C-alpha cells in the first residue's frame, strides 16, 4: 500500500483518533489496533448531556459536513458538543488503504453499519462519558448510522434526523450500489484490489463518478444546465470538475469497502428481519428528511419507513441537486436543511 | 466477423430486405450494398393510403413490436398495411456485425436517426409507392424516428404517436447512454470492437443489462418484488432471466452503433438548432405518450416537447415497468398503449 495524500489532515483539517484497540467486527474479524477518526466542535457540559452526533456519508469525511456547524446555525458549538465521526473504511479511520498485513487493501474484512455505530458508542461512552445524545443526524450512509443508533441504543437517542437515507437498503438501491461498484472494479487496473497506486484506477473512478452524477443529481440540473450557476461551463466540465474531481483522489478499496457496508445496511437485523418491529424500538423524536428528486434514495423509500416510526414527521425537500442537496451547493438547500435541524432541536421531547 | 445466430429469421421470424444500394449517410460515409430489413402485415390498398409505419427501439427488432399488431387490436392488419422497419445497425438491416471490409465491426460509420428515416422513406416511396401515412408510431428510439418523420416529411405524416422517446436527446439521457456504453465497452474483451465472438464480451453485456434494469424499470418493481408476478424468483433471477437474457445474445458493436445514434437524436438539426421551430413544422395530429416511472426518458422530457407541438395531446401511463412498459409484460400496460393507438387512429384529421 502507498500513502494516499488525500486521507490526511492537510486535506480535511485536524481531527482526533480514538483507539478502538482490537475491535471485533460483527462479521467476526478483528481489526487490530483499530482507530476511529473524529472531529469535535464546542464543549461537552458537566452533565454530559449537550452532545450531538453527526456521522458521515459514503466517501465523505468530517470536513464535508462541518459546514453545518456554526454559531449562527442549528448545530451551534456554543450550545452543543458536536461530534462528527468518520466512517471505518472511510480513509481517516482504520480503512483498507491504511491497513497492513492480512486485512490490508482488498483483504479488508466486511464492515457493517453496526460496526461504525458500536465504535462510535465506545468513543462516546469510554472517552467522553456521554450517556445521552440530544440529536443524531446524518445524510445518506450517515442516515443509515442514524437509524442504527436509534434502533440499537433507543434510550440514548433523544432526537434523530436521518436525511436521504434508509433504515434498510432497498433492492433497487442495492442494484445501484452494484452498478457503481462494477463501474469501478471492472477497471482492469483495479487488479482485484491489488493495484499499486489508487490513481492507477482512475478510469474506473471516473466511470463510477458518472454513475453517481446520473443518479445523484436531477434530470433538471442537467437538462436546464443549472450547473452554470455553480461555475461550470458545460456538461462535460460539470462531470469532470464536480463528480470526477470528487472521487478521483480516493482509494478504490476504501470506496468498495464502504459500498458493501451501505448495501448491507438493515436495522431489522435486530429483530429477526422484521423492519416494523425494529423501527418500533425507536424512542427518539424523529424528523425524516428526503430529497424529492433523489433517484437512489427516493422520497417513497424514506416515507415508507417514516410511517412505521411512532414519534416522527416527514419532510421532503425539492432541489435540482437531488441526493446531493446536502452538499449545500445551493444556499437554499443549505438553509432548509439547517432549518429542519433547528426545528427538531427546538422541539420538546 | 462471425455469424451471429441471434440476428436471423429463426430468432425473429421472417422478414424482407429492401436493397438500399449505395446509401450515403448524413455524416458522409457510404454504406455499399446496404439493406433495410422490414416486416409487413396486411395489404396496401389501391390508393396506397392505409399504411402505418412502426419503427423499432434500441436493441429491438420487428419481432418485439409485432405483438401490437392483430385483428383485434388498433394496429389491425385487416384494415391497415403495417410496416415495421428494423434499425440500420440493429442486426437485421446492414449493421456492424454483418458488414465486411473498411466499415465492418467497430469501423462501422456513425449513423443518425435521419439515416433510418431516409432509408424507410426510400422503401415506402420506391418500393411501395406510399405517399401518405395514416400513422407513424414507435417506442423509445422508435419515438425518435417518429419525431424525425413528422418533422422531416410533415406532409406525409397524418398522425404521429411517439411513446417514451424524445425529439431531441436531453443532456441527462446523453449521460445515461454514456454510462451504459461505458459499462459495455470497458470490458477488456471488447478490444476496441475487435473481439472475435460477441459472447466474449458477456461481462460487459451483463454490466450494461444491469444499468438498463436500474434505470429502465421502476424502484417499485424491485422494492415491491413485483417481478414475482412475471415468473422470477429473486432479484438476481430477475436480473439474469430478464435483463441479461435480453442483451447477452446481441452484438456489442451493433449496440454501441445504435447507442451513438440515440445520443445524437435531434430534430432541431433541421432548423439550425431551434427545437421549437423544428416542432412547429409538424402537421400531424399527435398523441405524445410518456411512462410516469421512466427514469431515462422522463415524463417531464416528453411533456416539454409536446407543449411545443400545435395539434397534440399528452398521455402519461403509470406502470412499475417504467420505460419498459411498452414490452407489455403487464397486460394492463399493453391494453392502455393499444387504446392510445386506437384513439389516435379513430381521431379525424
- pLDDT tens-place string over residues B55-107: 999 999 999 999 999 999 999 999 999 999 999 999 999 999 999 999 999 99
State the cell numbers at B289. Answer: 405518450
pLDDT for A249:
97
| Exposed / middle / buried, residue A194 (Cβ in 10 Å: 0-12, 13-18, 19+) | exposed
Which of A175, A184, A222, A303 to mutate to test binding with chain B, by most B CBs within 10 Å of its CB? A175
Consecutive H or E run containing B181: helix B171-185
pLDDT for the residue numbered A1: 44
- Name the closest residue on chain B to residue A188, using Cα atoms: B188
Q: What 3 state SS string does chain A have?
A: CCCCCCCCHHHHCCCEEEEEEEEECCCCCEEEEEEEEEEEECCCCCCCCCEEECCCCCCCCHHHHHHHECCCCCECCCCCEEEEECCCCCCCCCCHHHCCHHHCHHHCCCCCHHHHHHHHHHHHHHHHCCCCECEEEEECHHHHHHHHHHHHCCCCECEEEEECCCCECCHHHHHHHHHHHHHHHCCHHHHHHCCCCHHHHHHHHHHHHHHHHHHHCCHHHHHCCHHHHHCCCCHHHHHHHHHHHHHCCCCHHHHHHHHHHHHCCEHHHHHCCCHHHHHHCCCCEEEEEEECCCCCCCHHHHHHHHCCCCCEEEEEECCCCHHHHHHCCCHHHHHHHHHHHHHHHHCCC
For residue A188, the chain B residues in CB contact (below 8 A) are 188
- How far is the alpha carbon of A216 from chain B, nearest alpha carbon, in Å? 11
What is the ipTM score, two decimals?
0.95
Known catalytic residue: A319?
no
Interface test with B, best of A169, A184, A186, A227 (most B CBs within 10 A): A186
Q: Establish if B179 touches chain A: CB-CB under 8 angstroms.
A: yes
Q: What is the per-residue pLDDT across A6-54, written as a single tens digit (0 to 9) for each? A: 999 999 999 999 999 999 999 999 999 999 999 999 999 999 999 999 9
How many angstroms separate the CA atoms of A168 and A305, rounded?
A: 9
Q: Which residue of chain B comes nearest to A227, CA vs CA? A: B171
Look at residue B324 and tell me whether its pLDDT is greater than 60. Answer: yes
Q: What is the arithmetic mean of pLDDT over B286-301?
A: 97
Mean pLDDT score of chain A, rounded to an integer? 97
Q: What integer is the mean pLDDT of B9-29?
A: 97
CA distance to partner chain A, nearest, from residue B342 (Å): 32
* Three-state DSSP state, B81: strand
The shortest CB-CB distance from A219 to any of B210, B235, B300 is to: B300
A203/B210 CB distance under 8 A: no
Cα–Cα distance for residue pair B278/A217, rounded to 1 Å? 29
Among candidate residues A59, A112, A140, A319, the one labeled active-site is: A140
> For cell 414507435, what's the residue?
B138
B299–A contact, CB cutoff 8 A = no
Chain B environment of A239 (Cβ under 8 Å): 175
Closest-CA distance, A224 to chain B, in angstroms, reads 9
pLDDT at A2: 53
Residues of B in contact with A235 (CB under 8 A): 171, 174-175
Catalytic residues of B: 140, 294, 323
Q: What pLDDT digit, counting tens, does each position of A61-71 carry?
A: 999 999 999 99
Q: Reply yes or no on whether A140 is catalytic.
A: yes
Model confidence, pTM: 0.96
Chain B positions touching A219 (Cβ under 8 A) are 170, 172, 298, 300-301
Q: CB contact, 8 Å: A219 with chain B?
A: yes
A248 touches chain B (CB under 8 A): no
Quote the pLDDT of residue B321.
Answer: 97
Length of chain A equals 349
Q: Chain B: give the shortest CA distance to residue A276, in Å.
A: 16
Residues A246-264, mean pLDDT to the nearest whole number: 98
The answer to whether B176 faces chain A, any CB pair under 8 Å, is yes
Quick check: A103 pLDDT over 60?
yes
pLDDT of residue B3: 78
With beta carbons less than 8 A apart as the criterion, state whether A172 and B223 touch.
yes
| Per-residue pLDDT at B1 | 44
Task: Kindly state the cell numbers that stand for A172.
Answer: 433497487
User: Given a cut of 60, is residue B2 above it in pLDDT?
Assistant: no
B175–A210: do the CB atoms touch at under 8 Å?
A: yes
Cβ contact (<8 Å) for A211 and B170? no
Please give the average per-residue pLDDT across B299-313, as a whole number: 98
What is the percent of chain B where pLDDT is above 70?
Answer: 99
pLDDT over 80 at A333, yes or no: yes
More confident residue, B312 or B3: B312
Nearest-Cα distance to chain B for A299, in Å, is 11
Q: Residues B121-168: pLDDT tens digits?
A: 999 999 999 999 999 999 999 999 999 999 999 999 999 999 999 999
Instruction: Beginning with the edge strand found earlier in the chain, give each strand of the sheet holding A285-291 in spatial order.
Output: A16-24, A30-41, A81-85, A51-53, A135-139, A159-163, A285-291, A312-317
User: Would an 8 Å CB–CB cutoff place B294 in contact with chain A?
Assistant: no
Q: Name every residue whose Cβ is closer than 8 Å to that of residue B158 and which is 6 or more positions away in sequence.
A: B132, B133, B134, B135, B284, B285, B349
Kindly state whether B235 is in contact with chain A, defined as any CB-CB distance less than 8 angstroms: yes
- Residues A145-202: tens digit of each pLDDT: 999 999 999 999 999 999 999 999 999 999 999 999 999 999 999 999 999 999 999 9
State the nearest Cα–Cα gap between B317 and chain A, in angstroms. 19
User: Which one is catalytic: A12, A62, A97, A323?
Assistant: A323
H or E stretch at B287: strand B285-291
Out of A172, A183, A225, closest to residue B222 by CB: A172
Amino acid at each position: 500500500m502507498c500513502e494516499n495524500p488525500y486521507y490526511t489532515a492537510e486535506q480535511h483539517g485536524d481531527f482526533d483518533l480514538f483507539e478502538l484497540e482490537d475491535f471485533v467486527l460483527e462479521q467476526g474479524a478483528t481489526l487490530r489496533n483499530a482507530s476511529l477518526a473524529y472531529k469535535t466542535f464546542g464543549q461537552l457540559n458537566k452533565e454530559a448531556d449537550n452532545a450531538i452526533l453527526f456521522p458521515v456519508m459514503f466517501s465523505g469525511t468530517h470536513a464535508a459536513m462541518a459546514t453545518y456547524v456554526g454559531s449562527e446555525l442549528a448545530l451551534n458549538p456554543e450550545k452543543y458538543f458536536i461530534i462528527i465521526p468518520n466512517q471505518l473504511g472511510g480513509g481517516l479511520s482504520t480503512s483498507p488503504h491504511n491497513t497492513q498485513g492480512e486485512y490490508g487493501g482488498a483483504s479488508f474484512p466486511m464492515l457493517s453499519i453496526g460496526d461504525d455505530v458500536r465504535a462510535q458508542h465506545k468513543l462516546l461512552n469510554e472517552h467522553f462519558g456521554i450517556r445521552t445524545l440530544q440529536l443524531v443526524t446524518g445524510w445518506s450512509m450517515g442516515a443509515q448510522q442514524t437509524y442504527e443508533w436509534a434502533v440499537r441504543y433507543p434510550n440514548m437517542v433523544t432526537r434523530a434526523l436521518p436525511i436521504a437515507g434508509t433504515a434498510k437498503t432497498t433492492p433497487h438501491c442495492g442494484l445501484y450500489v452494484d452498478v457503481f461498484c462494477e463501474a469501478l472494479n471492472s477497471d482492469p487496473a483495479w487488479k482485484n484490489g491489488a493495484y499499486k497506486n489508487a490513481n492507477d484506477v482512475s478510469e474506473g473512478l471516473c466511470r463510477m463518478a458518472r454513475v453517481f452524477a446520473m443518479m445523484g443529481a436531477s434530470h433538471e440540473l442537467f437538462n436546464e444546465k443549472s450547473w452554470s450557476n455553480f461555475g461550470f461551463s458545460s456538461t462535460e466540465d460539470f462531470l469532470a470538475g464536480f463528480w470526477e474531481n470528487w472521487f478521483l483522489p480516493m482509494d478504490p478499496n476504501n470506496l468498495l469497502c464502504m459500498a458493501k457496508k451501505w448495501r448491507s445496511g438493515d436495522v431489522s437485523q435486530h429483530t429477526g428481519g422484521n423492519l416494523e418491529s425494529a423501527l418500533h424500538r425507536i424512542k427518539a423524536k424523529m424528523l425524516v428528511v428526503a430529497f424529492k428528486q433523489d433517484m437512489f434514495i427516493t422520497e417513497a423509500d424514506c416515507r415508507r419507513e417514516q410511517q412505521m416510526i411512532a414519534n416522527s414527521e416527514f419532510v421532503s425537500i425539492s432541489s435540482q441537486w437531488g441526493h446531493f442537496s446536502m452538499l449545500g451547493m445551493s444556499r437554499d438547500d443549505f438553509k432548509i436543511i439547517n432549518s429542519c435541524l433547528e426545528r427538531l432541536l427546538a422541539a420538546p421531547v
